[in-house]
Amino acid sequence: MTRHTVKTEEDILKAFEGESRAKWTYKAFADKAEQEGNHEVAKLFRAAAASEEIHANSLLRALQEMSRATNELWVSGMYDPKMVKDTTAENLREAIGENSELSQLYPGMIQDAEKDGWSFARECFTYAGAVDKVYDSLFKNALQNLGEKKSVDYFVCESCGNTIDHKPADSCNVCGSAESAFKMVQ
Ligand SMILES: [Fe+2]
């Protein structure tokens, strides 16, 4: 491959860092929500962490496909414990902001990967960007319904990280995987 692939490599690093940091941050947000006795929002944050982990792992595979050393990436993708706020309401607002920051990067990255001819990287960016939009609405709903004791079960597509708040009845509308690809988050 010629060096014009560099832009896609940079994009993958940036996306990986964001998705990986988000994964650890959402896990911490889930712990905070459990402490507050808010099991429902804790489940949503655990679903988000599982989804971000799927994206981080697939981005890593895309990077490995480009034969890059990856050892230091786990460090730069770590979350900052200071990100965890005093309340779950604040954590939900933080999650909405963080999520929207990341999702704005993906359309450009998809174009870069297309130009560079890296189809797997393109697929990773496409899925991560689509699922970030899904989380935007899940987080906003959770913020709106905070305090209500309605029980919600979240199902995460193991292939693309797509997440639904009801039993899967159809194939994944992001990646097309069969409904059996959806796993319920405890
Ligand atoms: Fe999917």
CB 56 within 8 A of CB 20: yes
Convert the pLDDT of each residue in 100-144 to its tens digit.
Answer: 777 889 999 999 999 988 899 999 999 999 999 999 999 999 999
Convert the pLDDT of each residue in 21-63 to its tens digit.
Answer: 999 999 999 999 999 999 999 999 999 999 999 999 998 888 8
Structural domains in the chain? 3-147 (1.20.1260.10)
Tokens representing 180 are 């059996």
CB 49 within 8 A of CB 91: no
CB 61 within 8 A of CB 54: no
Query: Could you tell me the pTM of the whole model?
Result: 0.83
Distance (angstroms) between ligand 1 centre and the Cα of 94 equals 25
CB 62 within 8 A of CB 53: no
Distance (angstroms) between ligand 1 centre and the Cα of 181 equals 7
Distance (angstroms) between ligand 1 centre and the Cα of 60 equals 18
Task: Give all strands (DSSP E) within the chain, no chain letters.
Answer: 155-157, 163-164, 182-184
Amino acid at 58: S
